[in-house]
């Protein structure tokens, strides 16, 4: 823990650590949802979609790395047990039980939209109070916004491919 780094935080550090650990739990669930989705996916464009899912999985894992680093800096402990992830995470885990490409894309779009709302909220909470976490949340938010658009454009491609005359 960095003592001066912790002193300059203008909000309750325990409340901040709780929010960071919730985001941390979400990132692991998002990572696994993408990683497994890429393994089981079936249907048209599955190779192109799986490549994007694998890339997003790596990026979600990196978000967990960034959050764990900030939690440790503030003197906290990243969630010790995966069994807590479901209760802590603000975003739901959507099991890829139906492997159809359109369903997997839809589930991950829901996840990204939840992530975008959560990081927007973390930015609102830390604005003018903790610049370091605010900046971290912005870095992650930029990537979640990119993820949403990547998936929605793949979903659009899939629809155009299935209904070529709708143009
Ligand atoms: Fe993420
Ligand atoms: Fe994402
Ligand atoms: Mg992408």
Rounded to the nearest angstrom, the distance between the alpha carbon of 6 and the centre of ligand 3 is 34
| Residue of 54, 151, 148 whose CA lies nearest to 105 | 151
What are the boundaries of each domain within the chain?
10-98+112-158
**Judging by beta carbons within 10 Å of its beta carbon (0-12, 13-18, 19+), is residue 156 exposed, middle or buried?**
exposed
Rounded to the nearest angstrom, the distance between the alpha carbon of 55 and the centre of ligand 3 is 6
CA dihedral 48, 52, 57, 61 (to 10 degrees): 150
pLDDT per position as a tens digit, 89-129: 999 999 999 999 999 999 999 999 999 999 999 999 999 99
Q: Is the pLDDT of residue 2 over 90?
A: no
Rounded to the nearest angstrom, the distance between the alpha carbon of 108 and the centre of ligand 3 is 12
pLDDT band at 167, cuts 50/70/90?
low
Ligand sitting nearest the alpha carbon of 26:
1
CATH class of 10-98+112-158: mainly alpha
Rounded to the nearest angstrom, the distance between the alpha carbon of 116 and the centre of ligand 3 is 15
Q: Is the pLDDT of residue 135 over 90?
A: yes
Rounded to the nearest angstrom, the distance between the alpha carbon of 16 and the centre of ligand 3 is 29
Rounded to the nearest angstrom, the distance between the alpha carbon of 6 and the centre of ligand 2 is 28
pLDDT per position as a tens digit, 12-58: 999 999 999 999 999 999 999 999 999 999 999 999 999 999 999 99
């Amino acid at each position: 823990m960095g003592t001066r780094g912790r002193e300059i935080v203008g909000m309750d550090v325990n409340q901040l650590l709780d929010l960071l650990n919730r985001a941390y739990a979400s990132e692991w669930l998002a990572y696994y949802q993408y990683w497994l989705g890429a393994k089981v996916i079936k249907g048209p464009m599955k190779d192109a979609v799986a490549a994007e899912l694998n890339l997003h999985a790596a990026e979600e894992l990196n978000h967990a790395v960034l959050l764990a680093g900030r939690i440790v800096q503030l003197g906290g402990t990243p969630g010790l047990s995966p069994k807590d992830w479901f209760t802590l995470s603000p975003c739901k885990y959507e099991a890829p039980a139906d492997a159809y490409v359109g369903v997997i894309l839809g589930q991950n779009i829901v996840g990204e939209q939840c992530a975008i709302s959560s990081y927007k909220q973390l930015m609102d909470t830390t604005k003018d109070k903790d610049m370091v976490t605010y900046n971290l949340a912005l870095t992650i938010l930029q990537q979640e916004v990119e993820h949403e658009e990547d998936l929605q454009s793949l979903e659009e491609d899939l629809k155009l491919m299935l209904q070529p005359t709708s143009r």
